Amino acid sequence: MNILVVNCGSSTVKYQLFRMEDEDRYEVVARGIVERIGISGSRLEHRSALDTFVEERPVPNHRVALELVIAALTSGKTQVLSGVGEIDAVGHRVVHGGEKFTGSVLITDEVLEAIRACADLAPLHNPPNILGIEACQELIPGVPQVAVFDTAFHGTLPEYAYIYAIPYEYYEKYRIRRYGFHGTSHRYVAERAAKMMGRPLEELRLITCHMGSGVSFTAILHGKSIDTSMGFTPLEGLVMGTRCGDIDPAIVFFLMEKEGLSAKEVEEILNKKSGVLGISGISSDTRDIEDAAPHNHRARLTLDIIAYRAKKYIGAYYAILGGLDGLVFTAGIGENSPYIRKSICSGLEHLGILIDDERNTVRRKEALISRDDSRVQVMVIPTNEELVIARDTWRIARGMG
């Protein structure tokens, strides 16, 4: 079965084509990205086993972007399909499923309307996700289209974990609650961790640490998410590339009054000018911060804050899990920064977390990085959200046959 996985952002389309015999036997036959959709400098970067190429040309909208993707898959030197008819199903990453979707679903008119109704909860993400779905329905007609939601994995949060201490009527009117994000990533690495540990996921207490430009930690008990650091939006939680994470809400009103800022301007500051960038004044990329740290106080401070906040969340999740079997680092920082991993784990020895310095030098591959005498197994697991989407799409499409 040929499964096309599509991830539409506001100005990008990322994609991978999977050839799947079953959930565990597959190959990625092509992948790529269309960037700068609707703005100058649009380009397609496409890779397959046959060839790699970059094409720069105007891409006014997501439909045109997906036309380019299909052309790259079905023609020229990179051709891996004889035609669009060889695509058996399409899996779409959808950021927000609200309370309605706690699992992946076949896209129908009713499902599409429900995704559209969640746009208020994810105004930057759900609209382009919808554009991608509609374009694929037109360009690849008659095949199953499946939605896989970032929020779905966190649908198991108990009510006491997702309700905010504001008037309950706002939850009833606007569904203001903790939703959590990066769910597909947390789900994938939790499943891989169980396999690495040689134990059923249903027996384990795990903390999964997705650390990229966006950062979220999740407490997973017996395979189910019971708490997660991102909340109503991806702004809550840990220190991120440009997002502030947890702050006193009164800071918003203070800044509005002192700086004469509008609500939109404060939102821009907290989402795009804070976090690693805001503290360091150097960059939103922790690699730049690590390079600068030996001779720059604010860079060192940034790294200290990242580690300190991470320890607080790990400690809190240890408490609600009633102990810990595995700690997983994933995503750009989690997979590639031995320094940050060690900084986070240092001082947590009393929780049974003991890092092996030599094992911890690993980057971008699965590895156990804890010592043999560590009560908690600490792992690096590269995330693979696209594979989760492909597998869910394969299951749903196969079930229709």
Q: DSSP character for 287? A: H
Rounded Cα gap, residues 355 and 347, in angstroms: 11
What residues are paired with 399 via a beta bridge? Answer: none
The verdict on whether residue 284 carries a ligand-binding annotation is no
The verdict on whether residue 233 carries a ligand-binding annotation is no
Could you tell me which of 41, 46, 35 has the C-alpha nearest to residue 58? 41
The verdict on whether residue 20 carries a ligand-binding annotation is no
Q: Hey, what are 391's tokens?
A: 């597998």
Which of 150, 227, 325, 392 is labelled catalytic? 150
How far CA 325 is from CA of 169, 241, 351, 377, in Å, comes to 39, 29, 10, 6
Which amino acid is residue 370, in one-letter code?
A: S
Is 215 within 8 Å of 208 (Cβ atoms)? no
How far CA 353 is from CA of 92, 188, 324, 361, in Å, comes to 37, 22, 9, 17
The verdict on whether residue 212 carries a ligand-binding annotation is yes
The verdict on whether residue 341 carries a ligand-binding annotation is no
The verdict on whether residue 335 carries a ligand-binding annotation is yes
Give the contacts of 378 (CB within 8 A, at least 6 positions apart). Answer: 326, 327, 328, 329, 341, 345, 353, 355, 368, 369, 370
The verdict on whether residue 45 carries a ligand-binding annotation is no
The verdict on whether residue 183 carries a ligand-binding annotation is no
Rounded Cα gap, residues 79 and 124, in angstroms: 33
Is 20 within 8 Å of 31 (Cβ atoms)? no
The verdict on whether residue 334 carries a ligand-binding annotation is yes
The verdict on whether residue 7 carries a ligand-binding annotation is yes
Catalytic residue check, 88: no
The verdict on whether residue 243 carries a ligand-binding annotation is no
Q: Is 71 left (phi over 0), alpha (psi -120 to 50) or beta?
A: alpha
The verdict on whether residue 286 carries a ligand-binding annotation is yes
DSSP string, 19-42: EESSSSSEEEEEEEEEESTTSTT-
Which value, to the nearest 10 degrees, does the dihedral of the CA atoms of residues 104, 223, 200, 344 take? Answer: 120
Place of tokens 């908690």: 376
The verdict on whether residue 14 carries a ligand-binding annotation is yes
The verdict on whether residue 365 carries a ligand-binding annotation is no
The verdict on whether residue 285 carries a ligand-binding annotation is yes
Could you tell me which of 34, 32, 94 has the C-alpha nearest to residue 60? 34
Active site residue ranges: 150
Known binding-site residue numbers: 7, 14, 93, 210-214, 285-287, 332-336, 385
Known binding-site residue numbers for ATP: 14, 210-214, 285-287, 332-336
Known binding-site residue numbers for substrate: 93
